[in-house]
Amino acid sequence: MAKSAGAPAGEMLPSTDGIPPADLLRAYATMVLARTVDERCLTLQRQGRIGFYVPMQGQEAAQVGCAWALRPEDWIFPAYRELAVALVRGITVRTLLDQFIGSAADESKGRQMPNHYGYRRFNYVTASSPVGTQISHAVGAAMAARRKGDAIVTVTFFGDGTTSSNDFHAGLNFAGVFRAPTIFFCQNNQWAISMPRDRQTRSSTLAEKAVAYGFPGVVVDGSDVNAVYRAVVAARERALAGEGPTLIEAQVYRLGPHSTSDDPRRYRTDEELAAWKEKDPLARLKHELRESGLLDDAADARIWETAKEAVAAAVKEAEAQPPVDPMTLFDDTFATRTPQLEAERTEFGELLRQGVLHP
């Protein structure tokens, strides 16, 4: 059970059982799919087939456990590392790859940098690169939902480095004062790019920062999918009961680089990485499933093979799409294009036809 940093000594938040056994194998398959997509996208970026990628290897259990505890009507405000959350929500690998590549099939028409996606129909808000900006947005959306009478929560994801940002403190303070139905989900992966956790704050935990703002902070083992699920279920129940927000610190480790622009070998040791690999969340859940009789080697091999085949097919389909039509540059700003914008569009189209500009 997760310990509450905002409760008196020894007091625990209400808890439930973990992910139902009937769903646990699907949760594992989702984690396997997330790991498979992650590894393939790193390769695609190194090959120059996508421009940028933010890996999440090592954080699968935290993300799947959290997302599994939510409802489709709940709103997600991600950072840029929540691939497994997107998969649980039902966003397909092909849809994500269309965005990473930026083809004509990309629903954002190539207007966001790769790995910064969002989809209204999934209540999944577009990610932005500046850390922490999504926190205030999540609190505002939660307040709006409460005024409308919608029985939902908002969940915002961020890393340990974000707890030093202005938006973190402003968002938590506002949420605490007005009891916003928001879950603040911090994936403490021990490194804010090259800044280690022990240089980020003198606080013994990140979760205890919630105490100053008047609501509970919970520390949970982020490699345990069921522990994360229980913590989020409890936080959601509190929020819907009008008891306000919860800060959850899922302690995880980023096994790969911060992004494809980063070289973690410059600031962390091989020994540290090896120690955390022993706590791989996929290996942990696989062991638990085997012990409970829900998984054997043959079934596990099928899960991995199915994931690899699905990702390979999605990559092939996504790369077969044409590039974004340059003329869409003038769409979506106004319901009806202004005369000036129409003139600029006509001129731009003529330059393309003359070959002066190249798409």
Catalytic residues: 254, 258, 267
Q: Which residue is associated with the tokens 């494809």?
A: 260
Q: To which H or E segment does residue 191 belong?
A: strand 191-192
Cα of first residue to Cα of last residue in the chain, in angstroms, is: 55
In this structure, is the dihedral angle defined by the CA atoms of residues 128, 2, 85 and 77, taken in order, positive or negative? negative
CB-based contact 91:41 (threshold 8 Å): no
Tell me the β-bridge partners of 155: 76, 183
Comparing C-alpha atoms, which of 177, 184, 168, 197 is closest to residue 5?
A: 184
CA distance 204 to 207: 9
Of the CA atoms within 13 Å of residue 245, those in its CB half-sphere come to: 34
Q: How far, in Å, are 11, 117, 295 from residue 290 at the CA level?
A: 33, 35, 5
